[in-house]
Amino acid sequence: MSAIPVPRLALPRAGIFRRFASQEALLALAVIGLAIAVGFVNPRFLAYRNLADILLGNAYIAIAAIGMSMVIISGNIDISVGALIGVLATVSGSLAVAGAPTLVAWIVPVVLGVLVMAAQGAVVAYLRIPAIVVTLGMMSILKGGLISVTGGKWITDLPQGFHLADLNLLGVPMPVAIMVVATALAALWMRYSASGRAIYATGGNAEAARLCGVNPQRTVVMVFALHGFFAGIATLVYATQLRVIQSTTPPGLELTVITAAVVGGVSILGGVGTVVGATLAAILIAEITSALVFVNISPYWTDSLRGGLILATVIADIVRRRRRASRGRRI
Amino acid sequence: MSAAATVPLLEVKGLEKSFPGVRALSGVSFDVRPGEVHALLGENGAGKSTLIKIVSGVYQPDAGEILIDGRAMRFAAPEDARRAGVATIYQELLLFPELTVAENIFLGHAPRASGGRIDWRAMTAKAEALLASLDIDDLAADQVVGSLSVGHRQRVEILRALSHDARILIMDEPTAALTEADVTRLFAIVRRLKERGVGIVYISHRLDELFQIADRVTVLRDGAWVGARDMADTNAAELVQMMVGRRIDNLFPKIAAPIGAPVLQARGLVRNPTTRDVSLEVRAGEIVGLAGLVGSGRSELAQVLFGITPAERGEIRLDGQAVRIDSPERARAGGIAYVPEDRGAQGLVRAMSVLHNFSLAALGGLSRLGFIDRAAERRMAEAGVLRFGVKTSSVDELAGRLSGGNQQKIVLGKWLANNPKLLILDEPTRGIDVGAKAEIHRLMCELAGEGVAILMISSELPEVLGMSDRVLVMREGRLVAEFDRAHATSQAVGAAMMGGDDPMERAA
Amino acid sequence: MSVFAASPGRRVPKWLARHETLLAIILVAALAGLGAFNNRFLTVDNLLNQGRLMTEIGLIALPMTFVIITGGIDLSVGAIVGLSAVMLGYSWKTFGFPLPLAIAFALAVGGLAGFVNGFVITRVKVPPLIMTIATLALYRGLAEGVSQARSVRGYPEWFYGLGQGEWLGVPTQLLLLVVLIVIAGVALDRTTFGRTLYAIGSNETAARFSALDVDRTKVVIYTLSGLASGLAAVVLVSRVTTTRMDMGMGYELDVIAAVVLGGTSIFGGAGTIWGTVIGLVMIQLLKNGLALTGVKGDATIVVIGVALIMSTLIASSLQRRRE
Amino acid sequence: MKARYLTTAAAAALALAGLATAANAAGKWDGGDDLATSPLECGMGPAAPAAPMKYDGGQPTNAADKAGKEIVVVDVPKLIGIGYFNATAKGIQDAAKDIGNVKAKTDGPTEAKIDEQIKFIDNYITSGVDGILFAANDPVAIAPVLKKALSKGIHVVGYDANSTPDAREWFVNQSPFNGIAKSMVDAMAKETGEDGSFAIVTSTFTTPNQARWIAEMQAYAAKCHPKLNWLETVEAQEDNNLSFNQATTLINKHGDKLKGIFGMTSVATPASAEAVTKAGQCGKVAVVGLATPNAMKPYVHSDCVKSVVLWNPIDLGYAATYVMRAAVDGKLKPGDTSVDAGKLGKLNVINGSEILLGAPYIFDKANIDKFDF
């Protein structure tokens, strides 16, 4: 057989923009666009200090959203994360006040987070109880348990060294540094590791998962454990930022985290989405909250506006995805 | 090349596999030698998918053995098969759109530098070497896969298989979604792989392709081995015969029924991209067979007629009245019934009881003011169970627990409860046992006798020829031929199914 | 939807494996136990009063059962309660609507909010979870924006009859709930509508191919969900005599807990109104009984969480044995 | 496709800008309620005693005579698990110990939700307590269930947050709304100067006490410090981190213009102080607010916060318990003008059926370490 002449096609290269030409690009664009738009109304918004504060004050949400996006990609959901962070913060603070070495006070919540979440994952995977039920129940348990044990007493007089969030890493405030590093590591891991792939496969469909040689049960437990890990890290940022720890569960945190993951392009349909999107979405939501103050919107309307923006993003994403899907189909 | 000359790379012997209610494979054997393309041929449901899933370690066989280089192997998981050198390229490509070509190729086994880091430079270099080795010069290692065409993506899958040092490559309908140019390029790659001694298992419905690329062919039907041929010693007609079976005479007891006025008249139906300007007519008491290869648009036409994907243009008349069918409800109201192709996904609600499945499409008639007359419903289902000979412990049994044939009878039965004027049957006897098949055929004749117009889609040519008063042939979304019963021979219909440059004629 | 195959096991008698039966047994046992601890628990007065308190959640749980049976979910119900409550007070006070008209308006707004959910879910194909998370924020925000966070008070006395009055000794709203339970139960069990819900939840494609109007049914159930939330808002305002924008906050989880505890599969295809009612009663009486026995609110929450997980666990393992 | 996004973004930006212009820049203070205000006289003098009013509370029907006998009292605060109500609960326990024949327990919702609170009270009515202490999440919404308690012969005394008067017997008023408002605004004017600009961080606009304080502060400021410039009010739930973020946003938004922040809750005030500290604005931005001492100690010691306004919530709970005992024993009857409250001495009856705890307490560097709650 003779070699067949192959027509050369002009094909796009993998530029940095190409690579993110998706929900992440849209979100990044929205983050920047919103900043500029608000900057027109009130230039103070663009001050380094303000932008840094937005990141600093909301880094814990972004970090928690990383794990949440993994959970959602795997086809599950977690409602207990807010309560868990409240519990872990209390544990961490109590240890610090009781005189435990700072490192212990930092590590224990992370370990505990992994254990609690892995246990939930095991119930979901092996006992086959839907995640929404397990985590709903666990939310109740953690929330009630926390108040029963602490009586809601605030933790004060935290030792100075405990405040991880006050430190800097190479000049970058620790919460932001942790957020960036955690996002980057998680993103790389999701992309490049076999177990990262397994998450997509499990959430996508069982058939593809088996074809990839994936054990769905083990993957679900792993995903929940990782989610617990990130919840633990988020706790460190959350708990060490202020001088007091509230000993109650942060109201509505789970919903904020889920929203960030969902707006970040993580489809509940499974199989799509990245943690970068979740982090960007968490930043965007925080930015919107701050921006609404800056442009003097009547605070009564901020919530509906925020809800509307989230809805618009979600619908735009779904429409975009569907178009891409229909374009990809062969005629 | 004779079988004794070389040890086959891959050999399977006497494979058996059953799923609940279905016997997917019984006693299938075949082998692949180095540098050979061995085609697997068979209609949907013949067992090809099950066979390749066993070979690639997804399923474990109930009996039989798999030998690689003459040594018996057990694949407990897909990784085992991959380690043994078996790589499978599925129709749905398992790629990651956000990653580059190189990253996709080396996902999970990237070259490592010291300390376990991924050695990006080495990875890119290796990817480029692989690309060069197959003379692929229009694909770069750093392109993002999401931006590539289907043909390119498939090449990435092939490269990924090669990066695992695969010696046996299984390709499941690789050309199903490819353009003409891409098919040409794929064949060039396949030939290059043959030169390297890779054994290829090639699955396709396109007979003309097989004559171009395959060395040998094994034909499966209903999970059983039918025969194997060297491509050089066979022709399309023989293969079609092997594929669709020969038992024309005794199995299809077509009883002539008086043919009445046209029930369905369709003119110029268009639904892009699968239905292109189709006009047809089905009359009362008439059974019209709709033949065509997989992907020719048969089921899609049925779904246009039934309103699931309504026509974009064209006219449908029922009993001479122009009607607009833009939803299944309208179709049902017009007296159309549709027994779909995919029983599990489209026809049956497995988690519901036989009783509730029976009444699902007839709830309107069984209820008053929205309230279901439960006694009537039960009477209807029990009558249906008797009439169609459904084997079940009771009508309260879950439908999903019954065998395929009994499930099909329920799907058929639920539509007949509506007393349809037009019955569209899509693969009515696929995957069910011979007895159930005969019963369904008997039923079709009975219905035709009662004056129902029947449009039957089937991949089984003898069934089409045996049951139809008229045969329509579809190809690429159009009706390309029409035969009356007297002139519908397997040669003629088969030729029309194959299309223009008739391989059958050429081979004959 | 589950990626895990069911494992075979010993078969359990069918009647026992029915989630509702099992739950009812647990309920009776719990009632007996709690009743033994406290003689004020099993009194007609207390039980009727508990019925009054659970009515709002119960009203919403009925259509939520429908929604979950189809494999969907509606997280925006609590926000719709807030929005409808605000609309009731706002239209009465600011627009000067007569109260009956204001009530109708509040119900209409609730229904509209639910319709918007259903419409976008079916037309744009946004997954229900995502859609209703977004509208949860949106509707709550609208409630705050419209009301400017002001409460509305001073409704005419007759209006309180709905939330505080009684008829033949039974709380008015409990009668309303009972009537709606019967209607919802019959609708689910005996009508084509109900059968369509199960079919959608078990196999949506097959339902479509059986010429069932899947999309319209879905729009209807989300609209019903909004309507029931609106009704719950009216009952709630009448019971507590005031309209606040934060009404109904967190209801979504209480409602889902009751429905899921009642044996409705979150994956769709299975569930009954009777189960939901048992789940609802169980949560309410468990909270009440524990409180009367001297258990504090925070510990009660823990018990409810454990009960939710354990009962689902027991029920699903029995179910699996049956299959 | 990209165009669609740009359009969406543009539309969103437009909406933002449109709402921005529509936003009410002056006029009503966001977060206040619409009830009538009664600002106190300007200056540092003590509040003039209000004109005596006729008793307007409710009375239990056929209450069992438990005079001198042990009574079981339940305390249902707005929510449990926050420092403030832990302190009132402690006061209640202290008083129960001092009195001897009172058995008290605190139980309530974990979030400040009125319908949850109603359920708790309802349960305790059924379980048969002798007295109910409450701090209402909504003054009107809580009334029906309290009236039900009265009708079952249960004594009802409120503290911290009132109900409609006829739904309870007595209400222990930590300090009238206008008194708190005066203390807060005076402190702010003193720290920022008479023409300073300030902003408010509150929990939610629907929280009655906060809304009332804000309304009274507005009225008092208009009367006595007319040049004080109110910038805006933001919501921050009862959430530490959210309060911190909102305060930080205010600092960043207004820059040097911002001279002071009011924290309206015991959560918002320390979080605002933390925000000011982190922004390096100590001494430039004053924080005045309601807070519990423990959370404020670091900021008071670092001189970032000069003074914290609060009554002593322990005393509040303590007084409420004494009032309950007195009401049960018949020692506090409609028409009485004072009541004995153990270590707190005699407390006066005002406004018909309210018992005044006293003037708001000002914690400062000198005395804050004496308190632990």
- How do residues D277-302 score in pLDDT, each as one tens digit? 999 999 999 999 988 888 899 899 99
B234 CA: distance to closest CA in chain C (Å): 41
What is the model's pLDDT at position D19? 46
C103 CA: distance to closest CA in chain B (Å): 29
Report the percentage of chain D scoring pLDDT > 90.
45
Q: Which tokens belong to B370?
A: 């929205």
Q: Which tokens belong to D124?
A: 């305790």
Half-sphere exposure of A108 (CA within 13 A, CB side): 16
Is C127 close to A268, i.e. CB distance below 8 A?
A: yes
Structural domain including D111 reads 71-175+313-358
User: How far from A29 is each of A24, A291, C158, D17, CA to CA, in Å?
Assistant: 8, 16, 55, 19
What is the model's pLDDT at position B38? 94
Encode C147-205 in three state secondary structure.
HCCCCEECCCHHHHHHHHCEECCEEHHHHHHHHHHHHHHHHHHHEHHHHHHHHHHHCHH
A75 CA: distance to closest CA in chain B (Å): 18
d(CA C252, CA C259): 11
Is D66 a domain residue? no
- How do residues D93-124 score in pLDDT, each as one tens digit? 999 999 999 999 999 988 888 889 999 999 99
What is the model's pLDDT at position B425? 94
**Closest residue on chain D to A57 (Cα):** D245
Q: Who's near B421: CB < 8 A, 6+ residues apart?
A: B263, B284, B318, B319, B334, B335, B336, B452, B453
Is D41 a domain residue? no
Residue C24 pLDDT level (bands cut at 50, 70, 90): confident
User: How far from B468 is each of B263, B288, B480, CA to CA, in Å?
Assistant: 16, 5, 17
Task: Tell whether D303 and D334 lie within a shared domain.
Answer: no
Smallest CA-to-CA distance from B471 within B284, B318, B251, B287 is with B287
What is the model's pLDDT at position C127? 84
Region B71-86: mean pLDDT is 86
Higher pLDDT, C116 or A74: C116
Residues in A closer than 8 angstroms to D9, CB to CB, are 29-30, 33-34, 37
Is A140 close to C301, i.e. CB distance below 8 A?
A: yes
Task: Tell whether D271 and D332 lie within a shared domain.
Answer: no
Q: At residue B7, does pLDDT exceed 60?
A: yes
Region B80-102: mean pLDDT is 78
Q: At residue C155, does pLDDT exceed 70?
A: yes
Q: At residue A269, does pLDDT exceed 70?
A: no
Query: Poorest-confidence range of A134-138, A278-282, B299-303, C23-27?
Result: C23-27
For the domain spanning B4-244, the CATH number is 3.40.50.300
Q: Which tokens belong to D231?
A: 């910038």
Residue C270 pLDDT level (bands cut at 50, 70, 90): confident
Task: Tell whether D190 and D282 lie within a shared domain.
Answer: yes
Please give the DSSP secondary-structure letter assigned to residue B144. Answer: B
d(CA B152, CA B147): 10
Half-sphere exposure of B202 (CA within 13 A, CB side): 32
Is C256 close to A132, i.e. CB distance below 8 A?
A: yes
Report the percentage of chain B scoring pLDDT > 90.
27
Q: Is the peptide bond before B273 cis (omega within 30 degrees of 0)?
A: yes
Is D38 a domain residue? no
Residue B505 pLDDT level (bands cut at 50, 70, 90): very low
Is C305 close to A303, i.e. CB distance below 8 A?
A: no
- Looking at this predicted complex, what is its ipTM? 0.80
> Is residue D39 within a helix (H) or strand (E), and if so which, with residue range?
none
Task: Tell whether D274 and D322 lie within a shared domain.
Answer: no
Higher pLDDT, B223 or C318: B223
Q: In chain B, where are the structural domains located?
A: 4-244, 251-335+420-508, 349-414
Q: In chain C, where are the structural domains located?
A: 2-6+43-318
Residue B503 pLDDT level (bands cut at 50, 70, 90): very low
Q: 10 Å Cβ neighbour count for D35?
A: 13
D156 CA: distance to closest CA in chain A (Å): 24
Is D111 close to C250, i.e. CB distance below 8 A?
A: yes
Q: Which of D275, D291, D310 is the last residue of a domain?
A: D310
For chain C, what percentages of helix, strand and coil (3-state, to nearest 5) are there? 75, 5, 25
Residues in A closer than 8 angstroms to C124, CB to CB, are 315, 318-319
d(CA C92, CA C107): 13
Hey, do B4-244 and B251-335+420-508 end up sharing a CATH topology, with the first three levels equal? yes
For an interface test with B, give the residue of A4, A197, A218, A331 to mutate (most B CBs within 10 A).
Answer: A4
Residue C153 pLDDT level (bands cut at 50, 70, 90): confident
| Residue corresponding to tokens 């092996």 | A126
Residue A15 pLDDT level (bands cut at 50, 70, 90): very low
Concatenated DSSP letters of A57-102: HHHHHHHHHHHHHHHHHTT---S-HHHHHHHHHHHHHHHHHTT--H
A154 — contact with chain C (CB < 8 Å)? no
Residue A207 pLDDT level (bands cut at 50, 70, 90): low
CB-count exposure of residue A195 (10 Å: 0-12, 13-18, 19+)? middle
- Please tell me whether the overall predicted TM-score, pTM, comes out greater than 0.90 for this model: no
Task: Tell whether D321 and D226 lie within a shared domain.
Answer: no
Task: Output the domain CATH number for residue D277.
Answer: 3.40.50.2300
Is A212 close to B94, i.e. CB distance below 8 A?
A: yes
**Closest residue on chain D to C289 (Cα):** D123
Is D112 a domain residue? yes
Region A130-139: mean pLDDT is 90
**Is residue B266 within 8 Å of residue B288, measured between CB atoms?**
no
For chains D and B, tell me whether 3 or more CB atom pairs sit within 8 A of each other.
no
Is B328 close to C195, i.e. CB distance below 8 A?
A: no
In CATH, which of 3.40.50.970, 3.40.630.30, 3.40.50.300, 3.20.20.70 is domain B251-335+420-508? 3.40.50.300
Architecture of the C2-6+43-318 domain = Orthogonal Bundle (1.10)
Residues of B with CB under 8 A from a CB of C: 306, 308, 327-329, 331-332, 338, 340, 345-352, 356, 359-361, 363-364, 367, 370-372, 374, 414
D205 — contact with chain C (CB < 8 Å)? yes
What is the model's pLDDT at position C250? 86
Number of H helices and E strands in chain D, helices first, is: 10, 14
What is the model's pLDDT at position D236? 87
Is D56 a domain residue? no
Encode B168-230 in three state secondary structure.
EEEEECCCCCCCHHHHHHHHHHHHHHHHCCCEEEEECCCHHHHHHHCCEEEEEECCEEEEEEE
Query: Poorest-confidence range of A117-121, B41-45, B471-475, C194-198?
Result: B41-45
Smallest CA-to-CA distance from B241 within B462, B473, B483, B486 is with B462
D85 — contact with chain A (CB < 8 Å)? yes
What is the model's pLDDT at position B3? 44
Region C207-216: mean pLDDT is 92
Round the average pLDDT of chain B to a whole number and report it.
Answer: 83
**Cα-based angle D155, D158, D160 (whole degrees, multiple of 5):** 165
Is D224 a domain residue? yes
Is D45 a domain residue? no
**Is residue A296 within 8 Å of residue A101, measured between CB atoms?**
no
d(CA C275, CA C23): 8
C205 — contact with chain A (CB < 8 Å)? no
Q: At residue B389, does pLDDT exceed 90?
A: no
A16 CA: distance to closest CA in chain C (Å): 30
What is the model's pLDDT at position D82? 77
User: What's the structural domain count of chain D?
Assistant: 2
Q: At residue D14, does pLDDT exceed 80?
A: no
A213 CA: distance to closest CA in chain C (Å): 14
Task: Tell whether D186 and D299 lie within a shared domain.
Answer: yes
